[in-house]
Structure 1
Amino acid sequence: MQCCRRRRSTFALTAVILVTGAIAFVMYKDALHFPGPAAVKAPVVDGNNEFDRSGSAPNDSRRSTSTAPKAESGESLHSDPLYQLRVELDAQNLLNEQAMEPAPTFETREQFEQVLSQLPLDESSKYRIHMHYVRRQIAIEQPDVTLVSQCDADHLHEAIGLAQYWDGPVSVAVFIPGNVYKALATLRQIRACHDRVRERVSFHLVYMENESVYEEVAASELPLEGACENFQDPYEELRANNGTAVRPKLQQQKAPAKYDGVPYPNNFLRNVARSGVSSTFMFVIDIDMRPSRGLRLWFLRLADKRPRASLRTAFVVPTFELKAGAPIPRIRQQLIDTYLQGNARPFYEKACWKCQKPTDFDQWLSVTSPISKPTYKVDWKDPWEPFYISWTNLPLYDERFQRYGFNRISQVCETWVSGFNFEVLTGGYLLHEGFKEPESFHTQKSQENDANRSLFRQFKQDLKSKYPSSTRRC
């Protein structure tokens, strides 16, 4: 009898967990945004500067013991039903992560084909999704911010820089339409050579149905196999040869052949990487960008002070381009000095200035104290496509957009129409090494852009039906 009672109790608990997870999934997929921060530990706000002057990230052990953040007016948020729902979803995310089974692995072609057949297909039946192929070693302590990105197998080494510059969890989706063996060999070597990658980065693999293969190749055909010096992050290493950046060995090789006829599914990959997030906040960026030191903890302090304001806010991180070979600025003042020297400029200033101008870089540069003025508000204007930190309840990326053009702006546009506001963070920034010039893009860029432009027109019409009560338009 006692055994039966235990079984009934276990079944009931399992049913509760499954129902809770199903409710969260339905709400997420239907873009029914129920924001609210987690009522858990958060960093203490102190009077120090926004960054350690050494350029290193602040000590992550500086945490408050309070489990009940207060709203701006001082009242508790516990009575807010939306807040409570967010708390429950955050807790469920952590439970789901802890209960997750290890990802299936393989060492032969036969094993790969067997695993591949068991992996879920996406809705288009084009891709097999291998979530958490390797998982980060660090545990999440809510609230936290997960850095989210995506790449193809030829750019796996860029994850080194993400782990070096971001002191929290990282979720990366990797597209492998070709030889899986070579990609995994690179991934193994990167993780073997970099403690921070092992500790912080979870990799999710996306295979292409009927295209991805597992074929062993000789070690000589794996340019990255071997010494760990082949894997140094160009942003982290000292400059050599009169300012030339030290590059991973892979980048010194002949450019790899692109996959003919295979469109790069950037938005699909972003959604895959997002689905690997179990923290309260996320920060979606491109794989070759680097966040400023200390940005994560600086933002968490801000969010702890303003929990209600952050419920429906996307916090924009200003993005700059750095002249190739210039020293990497570690803190805000160093970036401003680099900008004044002409070695840094706003992202896309020459390639597409209107795509970044609404960030109002002049105002950001003029702020003398990010502590006294941590943010400033801006309205979305077409065709602004900023990078921002937000709750995980933002609209998903529209997976119809592939390759170049309108893939990010479509999600930014929907974020605005759905009711989110934008505030620019003054205490941090993003860096892209190398100036972006109009002629630096690939030759098919214009064709891809034109194809997605007509899709974007349809997308904007779809938003009117999806958000009929919204007065905002793209």
Structure 2
Amino acid sequence: MRQFIRFRRWVLFVLTIFLTAINLLWTFCLLETEINSQRINKSYNRITKKLVAMDRINNATIPPLNQRINQTLVEKNSKHNFRLAFDNINFETGRWDNHRHYKMYDFALIGDKFIKSSYENIVCLATQSSVERLYSLTQVAHQWNGPISTAVYVAGNEEFFILQHFVTYMRLCFSFIRDNVTFHIAVPSNKKPVQGHIPNLVNSFDCQYPEQTLRHLLKIRNPDTIRWRLKNEYPQNHLRNLARKGCQNKYVFLTDIDIIPSANMVSLLNKFLPSVKCSYRCAYVIPTFEIDNRAKFPASKPELMRLYRKGLARPFHEKVFIYNQYATNFSIWLSNSSNEDDRAHISHVVTNFEFLYEPFYVAFDDVPAHDERFIGYGFTRNSQVYEMFISGYTFFVLSPVFTCHWGLQQKKARPVWREQQNNLNRKRFEMFKHEILARYKKKTTRK
């Protein structure tokens, strides 16, 4: 009997300890949930205060907004029943990249006429951007009258809120954004946004100044977010693959967000591409120039050549890194304009391929993917073009179409972090090169 009593006391003691532990654990979980909720609410409150303060500062420091434009925004908002962009995205879903470093959200927002435009045109423009450069999309979409697949990299709550407001603003202000542009989002695994309610300030923005509007929105980012962005590599190749696979067309024109197409390019390519007779793996290079910020964007090749003769335009990266576009052979492209008409045609064939060649080109959507081992700066685009060359692609330079990048770039001392990324990618390329040569069974003497 005594043994039984001792055993029962022991069981009660163990059960008491177990229930106490469960109670403590449950209390801790509730406290942690409440703390996290408080953190999120605190973040939302801080961002909301910044947005409201920013709105007051804007109204006090910049000229009064055009009442007609603001009224148009209000009318469009009412007519189209606009809500903040991406308000239905769930960041607990999405698909991982191969190394589970980033999550991708395909077709996070689809242009109203994107599908229709994809059926009507043979080529789609695919581009990628960080949040702070997204203002360039307004000029890109204005020039490119066709489907556009845009991948945007977003880190944390603040950048996602900026993206929501700015994309909503662009869609309300510019019909060519609302109709033709589809957005995809990539986020880092350790800085996923958390959705919450914030005030819609879109009606306080001026449709005439997209770059200024974005710069004001960017002021809500705190120093920690900016420092995080500087320390962590920008996944360019992930975004390029994401944007390209969002295109629904036979041909894809893959660019960066600050590369502006010449006028009427979609129409010219719609007529040219069905007529080409490519026997084996062809890519059509669109020559890229950089133009002085003081100049007006050239409406045609003759206007571009006038800027070139005045020193207000020159081949892209000519002073910064000439091999970037050298193989395009701009001297031939510039010299054969006298007998050209307005139709797109092949100017010449690239015969002097350089390893570091990084042209912007139009091709079938079966070209090799951009290798996602290359993160940050260095060897991101040229490694993909190198694989195309090794696999047997021929590069044809088109005329009179072209693209431009604003600003005559000068060689400056690069920051340490950028050179470190470049050196790391250079080491990665050595392994990549051996893999490519083995895959396509080419001799290592071909460079």
Q: Aligned partners of 1:160, 1:365: CA distance in 2, in Å? A: 28
**1:248 counterpart = 2:212:** yes
After TM superposition, list the pairs within 5 Å mapping 1:192-231 onto structure 2. Answer: 192-214=172-194, 216=196, 226-229=204-207, 231=209
- Shift of the 473–300 alpha-carbon distance from structure 1 to 2, 3 Å rule, reads farther
Q: Aligned partners of 1:398, 1:305: CA distance in 2, in Å? A: 31
- 8 Å Cα contact 2:121/2:266 also seen in 1: no
- 8 Å Cα contact 2:91/2:194 also seen in 1: no
2:349 corresponds to: 377
Q: Which has the higher helix share?
A: 2
1:336 corresponds to: 305
1:185 to 151, 156, 165: 165
1:154 corresponds to: 132
1:118 to 84, 93, 96: 93
2:438 corresponds to: 465
Aligned partner of 1:377: which letter?
A: V
What displacement does 1:135 show?
Answer: 0.9
Q: Secondary structure at the match of 2:412?
A: helix
- 8 Å Cα contact 1:190/1:231 also seen in 2: no
2:364 corresponds to: 391
Q: Secondary structure at the match of 2:150?
A: strand
- 8 Å Cα contact 1:267/1:398 also seen in 2: yes
What displacement does 1:117 show?
Answer: 2.2
Query: What CA RMSD, in Å, does the superposition of the two structures yield over aligned residues?
Result: 2.5
What displacement does 1:448 show?
Answer: 1.6
Q: Aligned partners of 2:369, 2:264: CA distance in 1, in Å? A: 27
Q: 1:334-384 deviations in whole A, cap 9, x for unaligned?
A: 000010011001100100012211111110000123349632111322221
2:398 corresponds to: 425
Deviates more, 1:206-215 or 1:159-168: 206-215
After TM superposition, list the pairs within 5 Å mapping 1:3-42 onto structure 2. Answer: none
Q: 1:294-327 deviations in whole A, cap 9, x for unaligned?
A: 1222223222222435x51111111101011211
1:302 to 272, 278, 301: 272
Q: Aligned partners of 2:253, 2:446: CA distance in 1, in Å? A: 24
Q: TM-score, normalised by structure 1?
A: 0.68
Q: Aligned partners of 2:334, 2:86: CA distance in 1, in Å? A: 51
After TM superposition, list the pairs within 5 Å mapping 1:252-263 onto structure 2. Answer: 257-260=226-229, 261-263=231-233
Q: Secondary structure at the match of 1:130?
A: strand
What displacement does 1:225 show?
Answer: 6.7
- Shift of the 441–332 alpha-carbon distance from structure 1 to 2, 3 Å rule, reads farther
**1:447 counterpart = 2:411:** no
1:176 corresponds to: 154
After TM superposition, list the pairs within 5 Å mapping 1:94-113 onto structure 2. Answer: 107=87
Q: TM-score, normalised by structure 2?
A: 0.72
1:320 to 248, 271, 289: 289
- Shift of the 390–207 alpha-carbon distance from structure 1 to 2, 3 Å rule, reads same
What displacement does 1:219 show?
Answer: 5.2
- 8 Å Cα contact 2:205/2:213 also seen in 1: no
Q: Aligned partners of 1:330, 1:258: CA distance in 2, in Å? A: 40
What displacement does 1:137 show?
Answer: 2.3
1:13 corresponds to: none
Deviates more, 1:132-141 or 1:363-372: 363-372
Q: Secondary structure at the match of 1:147?
A: strand
Which structure 2 residue ranges, 5 or more long, are not aligned? 1-84
- Shift of the 186–214 alpha-carbon distance from structure 1 to 2, 3 Å rule, reads farther
Q: Aligned partners of 2:405, 2:94: CA distance in 1, in Å? A: 35
1:281 to 251, 258, 273: 251
Aligned partner of 1:281: which letter?
A: Y
Q: Aligned partners of 2:298, 2:403: CA distance in 1, in Å? A: 11
Aligned residues: 348
- Shift of the 452–171 alpha-carbon distance from structure 1 to 2, 3 Å rule, reads same
- Shift of the 175–276 alpha-carbon distance from structure 1 to 2, 3 Å rule, reads same
Aligned partner of 2:259: which letter?
A: M
- Shift of the 422–472 alpha-carbon distance from structure 1 to 2, 3 Å rule, reads farther
Identity between Structure 1 and Structure 2 (%): 29
What displacement does 1:419 show?
Answer: 1.2
Q: Aligned partners of 1:134, 1:119: CA distance in 2, in Å? A: 14
2:329 to 341, 350, 360: 360
Q: Secondary structure at the match of 2:349?
A: strand
Q: 1:161-190 deviations in whole A, cap 9, x for unaligned?
A: 111110111001011122123321221122
Q: Secondary structure at the match of 2:267?
A: helix
Q: Aligned partners of 2:124, 2:414: CA distance in 1, in Å? A: 29
Q: Secondary structure at the match of 1:432?
A: strand
What displacement does 1:116 show?
Answer: 2.1
2:13 corresponds to: none
- Shift of the 470–184 alpha-carbon distance from structure 1 to 2, 3 Å rule, reads farther
1:127 corresponds to: 102
2:73 corresponds to: none
- 8 Å Cα contact 1:298/1:427 also seen in 2: no
- Shift of the 170–312 alpha-carbon distance from structure 1 to 2, 3 Å rule, reads same
What displacement does 1:385 show?
Answer: 1.1
Q: Aligned partners of 1:470, 1:299: CA distance in 2, in Å? A: 36
1:85 corresponds to: none
Q: Aligned partners of 1:163, 1:298: CA distance in 2, in Å? A: 16
Q: Secondary structure at the match of 1:229?
A: coil
Q: Which runs of 4+ in 1 moved over 4 A?
A: 215-220, 252-256, 440-443, 469-472
- Shift of the 210–444 alpha-carbon distance from structure 1 to 2, 3 Å rule, reads closer
Q: 1:188-247 deviations in whole A, cap 9, x for unaligned?
A: 122111110011110001122231222558659x7x772233644xxxxxxxxxxxxxx4
Q: Aligned partners of 1:118, 1:269: CA distance in 2, in Å? A: 18
1:79 corresponds to: none
Aligned partner of 1:301: which letter?
A: K
- 8 Å Cα contact 2:169/2:205 also seen in 1: no
